Structure 1
Amino acid sequence: MLSTRGLISVTDPSPPPVLTLSELRRRLGRSQAEVATTIGTTQSGVSRIEHQADMHVSTLNEYAFALGGRLRLIVEHGDDHTEIGIPALRQERREQRREFRVIWQDQPTRSLVQVGWLVYTGDEFTFSYVDEAKSHERFQPFPAFPRLDETYKASELFPYFALRLTSAADPHYDAVLDALGLTREDATPVELLARSPDSPHDTIQVVPEPTEMADGTLVRLFLVSGTRHADERDPDTVSRLIEDLATDSLLDLVAEPNNRHNPQALHIAANGKRLGWVPDYLLSEIHGYIDTDRPVSIAVAQANGPDAPPHMRLLCRLTVAPGTPD
């Protein structure tokens, strides 16, 4: 078991402040919900970790990973500082299973149709078509996956999907990661794919399934669409509002039944001011939660400044309360 009073750096000759886990998390701008999603527990589970007097090294290592860092154990003996090698800390954290709906837009009707599943099992990637792809009269198989009845497998992300991601060689790569709330260490292809925005001109969208917590709560991140069109008469006010948003602050979800482009549209607002819209690919999902009386909340995961591309200005976190048993 290990005390969680604080962390000590041996690279800085002046002793840093001793922080509790919750103080460190807040200092790094992470919420309990974000840590819970990464670890695979609930928000209350993270709270219990933060209030434990002692815990297993492996638990603390998972917590440090969720904050974008890594845990090191240092023994101080006089002027000597020795790092202790513990197997649990040398192991790379294995990513959890992730599932992505592959959605195709039927141009004549503008409707969104799920045509396949992209799955990361933790060891390999698979892609397969769903029945709708096989029966839709206008859908044609993707050139990279020509056979509708085959399950494709690969040890790395298929190039067809990897090409959608910003390359690490791109001069704007770090700025993109920052806008998506990622570091180079946690920007795996799977995590990048889960957060990377889709081009409004792209007929293919790769949408991650929400993360289900132990109590049935669903959590997902998404980028708000159309921030630069939220108020074309006063775009500067919208920009300032987004820039001033505090992490974890709650936002309003507002229906637009008279929207001439899509009567299912939902916009995101703060203090009565529209900031942008829920992306189209999430509308049916969110309306489904609302129609079944599952409480839905939208909070700020990360608000980016005006230097960020318009489609990356506001990263939100959707939280859906557990459903009521039948």
Structure 2
Amino acid sequence: MTPRTLFLAWQEKDRRQWFPVGRLDADVTRRAYRFRYTGGAKRAQAEAGFPLLIEFPELEEDYRTSRLFPLFRNRVINPGRPDLKEYLRNLDLGHEADPIEILAANGGYRATDAYEVFPKIEREDDGSFSCRFFLHGWRHVNSAAQERLARLTPGEGLYVTLELTNPVTRFAVQIQTEDYFMIGWAPRYLAADLAMALVAGVPDRYSARVVRINPQPAPSKQRVLIELQGRWNGYEPMNGSDYQPVVD
């Protein structure tokens, strides 16, 4: 199996800004896992006082192990749980999904800390890409949008638009229904790269759709699963200084 890359994002509590602070490279077949802080951790330290993780106490260190680090392992459902099958179905995964696939899908969210996990978006040779994420911020849209959200159906097409007046993050990526109800946002830590698909990409080559809708008792963070497809012209995603490992 091809090695895969996940990024660890941290959210500071005052402005609720997200920073990509770490990179996990995983080869499940070879049982090889590697964690390094990224340039985003340095920026988060300077701008928001990011505290290094207890498990990874040195910024300029190359951490390697043959077993998935506890920070990430504790964000994966126990395979012995009786609700495992339903949990994986909510993520649109099969029973054979490995921990890295689960982390890439569930976002690694825990109510007890300010971290999330997301996969590196891979750009194909023709510039195309595809990514999945759970809808963010849907609880904060107006009542009409809430009612429309309740009528979403799997497979339904969606619009993706760039918001330039977001009071928190300055710009954001909105998710709208095809009848123009704004139902939420893409994750903030994906906004910059997705914005490039909207601004510098091929406008008629991006689209979004509803993959799954998970009603209660599924966690609210995993209510609406969305798939977005697009194409960049010469742009390499997640390649800026925030994503570069501090240690080569």
TM over 0.5: yes
Larger Rg: 1
> Aligned residue for 2:134?
223
Is the CA contact (8 Å cut-off) linking 1:255 and 1:267 kept in structure 2? Answer: yes
- Segments of structure 1 that go 5 or more residues without pairing to the other structure are 1-93
Distance in 2 of aligned mates of 1:307 and 1:156:
31
> Aligned residue for 1:118?
24
Q: Match of 2:182, SS?
A: strand
| Inter-CA distance 168–292: structure 2 relative to 1 (3 Å threshold) | same
Q: Calculate the aligned-residue CA RMSD, in Å.
A: 2.6
> Aligned residue for 2:194?
286
**1:141 is the counterpart of 2:52:** yes
Distance in 2 of aligned mates of 1:274 and 1:184:
34
Pairing 1:104-253 to 2, within 5 Å after superposition: 104-122=10-28, 123=30, 124-134=32-42, 136-137=45-46, 138-185=49-96, 187-197=97-107, 198-199=109-110, 202-232=113-143, 235-239=146-150, 241-242=151-152, 245-247=153-155, 249-253=156-160
**Which structure's relative contact order is higher, taking Cα pairs within 8 Å and 6+ residues apart?**
2
User: Which digits, 9 at most, give the CA deviation of each residue in 1:213-271, with x for residues without a partner?
Assistant: 343311111111133433336734421x22xx242x42111334344334313321222
Give 1:200 deviation, angstroms: 7.0
Give 1:144 deviation, angstroms: 0.7
> Aligned residue for 2:240?
none
Aligned partner of 2:170 among 244, 253, 263: 263
TM normalised by structure 2 equals 0.78
Is the CA contact (8 Å cut-off) linking 1:226 and 1:276 kept in structure 2? Answer: yes
| Inter-CA distance 254–200: structure 2 relative to 1 (3 Å threshold) | farther
| Inter-CA distance 274–129: structure 2 relative to 1 (3 Å threshold) | same
Deviation >4 Å, runs of 4+: none
Pairing 1:292-303 to 2, within 5 Å after superposition: 292-295=200-203, 296-303=206-213
Distance in 1 of aligned mates of 2:13 and 2:141:
25
Q: Match of 2:54, SS?
A: coil
| Inter-CA distance 261–134: structure 2 relative to 1 (3 Å threshold) | closer
> Aligned residue for 2:9?
103
Is the CA contact (8 Å cut-off) linking 2:145 and 2:182 kept in structure 1? Answer: no
Distance in 1 of aligned mates of 2:14 and 2:217:
36
Aligned partner of 1:254 among 161, 171, 181: 161
Q: Match of 2:158, SS?
A: strand
Distance in 2 of aligned mates of 1:200 and 1:226:
16
Q: Match of 1:265, SS?
A: strand
| Inter-CA distance 108–180: structure 2 relative to 1 (3 Å threshold) | same
More strand per residue: 1 or 2? 2
| Inter-CA distance 134–256: structure 2 relative to 1 (3 Å threshold) | closer
Give 1:206 deviation, angstroms: 1.6
AA of the residue aligned to 2:190: L
- Segments of structure 2 that go 5 or more residues without pairing to the other structure are 236-248
> Aligned residue for 1:28?
none
User: Which digits, 9 at most, give the CA deviation of each residue in 1:10-41, with x for residues without a partner?
Assistant: xxxxxxxxxxxxxxxxxxxxxxxxxxxxxxxx
TM normalised by structure 1 equals 0.61
Give 1:191 deviation, angstroms: 0.3
How many equivalent pairs are there? 226
